[in-house]
Amino acid sequence: AQRVTQPEKLLSVFKGAPVELKCNYSYSGSPELFWYVQYSRQRLQLLLRHISRESIKGFTADLNKGETSFHLKKPFAQEEDSAMYYCVFGAGSYQLTFGKGTKLSVIP
């Protein structure tokens, strides 16, 4: 069963513009959700997790149980933010289910 949905395959924004990468999940309980990022020619890596409510590289993501969403946001996009972003659902035994990903392109 598809646990996370990322509706946009590609998102292009201008430098300095706000960014919102959408993620919706399907789960009746309390989910564990994460955002992973893959920069060009680099390894897939954890960006942030919902439980820590942290801001990493200016990105934040709030879990909205009413809308079953976990959108990734940044107020001002930078060129170095260009990358593939994956919304990830965590289940028991530390398994992770990845969404299909959104490619963010920041236009100078």
Partner 1 sequence: EAGVAQSPRYKIIEKRQSVAFWCNPISGHATLYWYQQILGQGPKLLIQFQNNGVVDDSQLPKDRFSAERLKGVDSTLKIQPAKLEDSAVYLCASRHPGHPTGELFFGEGSRLTVL
Task: Name the residues that contact partner 1, by CB under 8 A.
Answer: 9, 32, 34, 43-46, 49, 51-52, 86, 88, 90, 93-101
Please state, as a whole number, how many other Cβ atoms lie within 10 Å of the Cβ of residue 6: 20
> Smallest gap, in angstroms, from Cβ of residue 88 to partner 1?
7
Closer Cβ to partner 1, 3 or 74, answer by number: 3
User: Token pair for residue 36?
Assistant: 């992973």
Q: How far is CA 72 from CA 53, 58, 89, in A?
A: 12, 10, 14
* Residue 57 to residue 94: CA distance in whole angstroms: 25
> Smallest gap, in angstroms, from Cβ of residue 76 to partner 1?
27
Closer Cβ to partner 1, 59 or 86, answer by number: 86
Reduced to 3 states (helix: H, G, I; strand: E, B; else coil), residue 71 is coil
Closer Cβ to partner 1, 99 or 104, answer by number: 99
